[in-house]
Amino acid sequence: MNEDGSIGSDKLSKILDTFPDLNPKWLITGSGTMTNDSKSYEIKLPTPQPISVTRPRIPFNAAAGSLSIAVDNVTEEECERLPLIPTLPDYDFTIQVRGDSMMPEFHSGDEVACRFIDEASFIQWGLPHVLDTAQGVVLKSIYQDEDNIICKSFNSRYPDFSIPKDEILRMAIVVGFVRQS
């Protein structure tokens, strides 16, 4: 560019040599059509980004059977979809913690990420699990006891309780959580 902000004739020549369809009048003055002929030019828009991967957030207050996820009692409309949290291990859904029975490990409002357990041999006794029971959804550390599962809270103010194994509809292990500050 020249000191007055105009472009020099040598640069104009290079532009017109590189883009022979450009109308010199348009290039210099901005008036007229951009090209010398009536060709139409396709404008390439950016390629749309793929829809982000999401996981369902199951409503904690859902009726029993809710962890069967979007097939049985909880419909797709009842499950909010949240973006996948890539820093967490692989998980199937999230659920928000309600109450203080699992403090100090989990606080009310924490978002716990859970992976379904399809075989009893994959249960990790002593670790937090989300259980879908005939009585509703429960988040507890679980322990085996013959025909029952003992559910323990981290908060000592809450007593242990047992759930008959045949009343557990579905089970998922907690693989991580997110806490908003």
pTM of this structure:
0.64
pLDDT tens per residue, range 25-63? 777 777 777 777 655 555 455 666 565 688 888 876 543
CATH annotation of 54-178: 2.10.109.10
Banded pLDDT at 2 (limits 50, 70, 90): low
pLDDT (tens digit per residue) in 135-161: 788 899 999 998 999 999 999 999 999
Q: Which band of pLDDT confidence, cut at 50, 70 and 90, is reported for residue 111?
A: very high
Please state the domain extents for the chain.
1-42, 54-178
- 8 Å CB contact between 175 and 92: no
Position 71 scores a pLDDT of: 36
Give dist(CA 118, CA 15) in Å, integer: 66
